[in-house]
Structure formats: C-alpha cells, structure tokens
Amino acid sequence: MKLPRLSPEWTPYVLLSPFVVLFLVFGMFPLGFSLYLAFQAWEPTSGLGAMQFVGLENFVFALQDEWFWKSLKNTAWLAVASGVPQHLVAIPLAVFIHTSFKRLRNGVVGAYFLPYITSTVAIAIMFSSLFSTDYGIVNTVLKGLFGIEPIDWLNAPENIKPAISMIVFWRYVGFNVVLYLAALQTIPKDLYEAATMDGAGRLQQFFHITLPSLKPMIFFGVTLSVIGGLQLFEEPFILTGGRGGSDQSGMTTAIYLYRMAFDFNDFGAASAMSWLLFVVVVVLTWLTNLAFKPKT
C-alpha cells in the first residue's frame, strides 16, 4: 500500500509544524496566560482554584510594594556592578588575545569561555566555599596579603551583593571575550597597517580604529548584559538559599517574582510584577539603543 505523497506546496509547512506547535505551547501560551493572570486574583492553594478579575489591582499592589522596589534596586545594583566590568575587561582582554596568541588562541578562548557553560549550581557551590567566612580562600588571601579580618560575605547585607557580582562577572566575562574576538577578526588589517605607516601607536590605533569598529558588537553585548542583568536569578537564588540573603539584600526581582508565586501563592501579583519588569527591560534597551545610535 502506497502512502500518499505530500504536495510540494505543503511540505515546508509540515516540516515547520513541530517547531510552531512547540513554540505556541511552551512559548506563546505562557506569555499570554501570564498577561491574563496579571488582571486576575488567583491563589491555587489546592489544584486549580477559581480566578477573579481584579483589573489593575495587581499592578497597583506591585507599584506600592516596598519589597518590589527594593528588589528592583538590588537588581539594578547587581546589573551595573557585574555588567560594566565585564565589558571593561573583555574588550582589552580580547584585543590582547587577538594580537598575542596565534596557535594557542582557541585553547585560551576556551578556558575563558568555560565558566559560561558550567552548571550554575556547581559554580554557586564552589563560590560558597570560596566566600566561606572561616575557611574560604578569599578571606585567607585577604588576611595573608593585606591583613584584613575575615569578611562575612554571604550573610552580611553589605557584602552579599559584591559577592554575587563577582560570581556573575566571572561567569560571563568569557562570553563577552568571545563576542569581541569575533568582531576583531572582521576589522581589515589594512587599517592598522596604514595607521602604523602614519605613525600611530598601539594606543591610538585602539581608540581610533578598534573601538569604533567594535561599536556594533559593544551595543550587542551591552544589550545582552542589560537584559540578562535585569533577569538575574540563578546565582543569587542558589547563593542565598532562595531567600535573598540577610535583609533581602541579595533578592533580585526575578527571585521576588518566584517567591510571590510559589511561596506567597499570589500568581496574579507575580504576573503583574513580571510585566512591569518587562517594561523596565524594554525602556532600558531603548535607552541603550539611543546611546549607541550614530549621531547625525
């Protein structure tokens, strides 16, 4: 028995249908349902509880919630403290690797990229040991070299955010190095040769050739850092045991959304806060676009 042949006109649609179905089920439906929940009061204490339309009450509650604003401040602090150094270090490091390594370049880049693909749980456990108050290597080095007494990194409110920032920086700086290395390889060597013949030094070539040529990739990398920084969840969640640390100093907005939904059982407020966070991400991305927009 012959199977019916598929018409060439329908073949692309049939081949794409698995992706479309999965995207609708696991992508579009959660987004749409979360937007719907943002206008509902829903506390599914057992099974699927009844929903009640409350209009903008969830958004009003979120805007009046001091813990939501504190989580936003924590998130902004962590995004800046971990994001800005990534690019300040990754750009010159990428230039150094590009100009100094030929045969071993792939191995060096792989070593820097390794933290990015390492399990977040493993990273958090490792840094929990490194930042241990009594037996951590960080405090041992600080006391041995500078005579600084042991610092309570993971419990003191003033220390938890710097500790998280260092973890995020260490994990993602290699990713930015790879981005900038890819961009550096597209810069024509003729520009550097002409600049050398005109008497320009390496520092002048860096500021007048390398940086302007890297501007599109810097925009791309900074945009990813803005979006990722505002959605920071895994590192502070594991490092603080999911509670945000002492005085909630390490509680990001993503952690607060999680707790609002699964600890406080208020899915409507959590959905409203998630869409407010989405608005913040859109606004900051737009401002980043304006900052990198060519001046006319």
pLDDT above 90: percentage of residues in the chain: 43
Give domain status of residue 49, yes or no.
no
Give domain status of residue 94, yes or no.
yes
Find tokens 């609002």 and name the residue: 260
Give domain status of residue 216, yes or no.
yes
Q: What pLDDT digit, counting tens, does each position of 173-217 carry? A: 999 999 999 999 998 888 888 888 888 888 888 898 899 999 999
The C-alpha atoms of residue 279 and residue 106 are separated, in whole angstroms, by 39
Give domain status of residue 241, yes or no.
yes
Give domain status of residue 1, yes or no.
no
| CATH code, 87 | 1.10.3720.10
Instruction: Compute the chain's Rg from CA coordinates.
Output: 24
Whats the size of the chain, residue-wise? 296
- Which range marks the domain in which residue 102 is found? 57-121+165-292
Cα 282 to the chain's mean position, in Å? 14
Q: Report which residue type is found at 176.
A: N
The C-alpha atoms of residue 71 and residue 73 are separated, in whole angstroms, by 5
CA distances to 81, 158, 167, 224 from 77, rounded to whole Å, are 6, 12, 14, 16
Give domain status of residue 136, yes or no.
no
Give domain status of residue 5, yes or no.
no
Indicate if the pLDDT at residue 48 is higher than 70.
Answer: no
For 142, half-sphere exposure in the C-beta direction (CA atoms, 13 angstrom radius) is: 16
Quick check: helix, strand or coil at residue 229?
Answer: helix
From 7-11, 94-98, 173-177, 265-269, the region with the lowest mean pLDDT = 7-11
Q: What pLDDT digit, counting tens, does each position of 72-100 carry? A: 999 999 999 999 999 999 999 999 998 88
Number of Cβ within 10 Å of residue 40's Cβ equals 18
**Total structural domains in the chain?**
1
Write down the pLDDT at residue 285.
Answer: 92
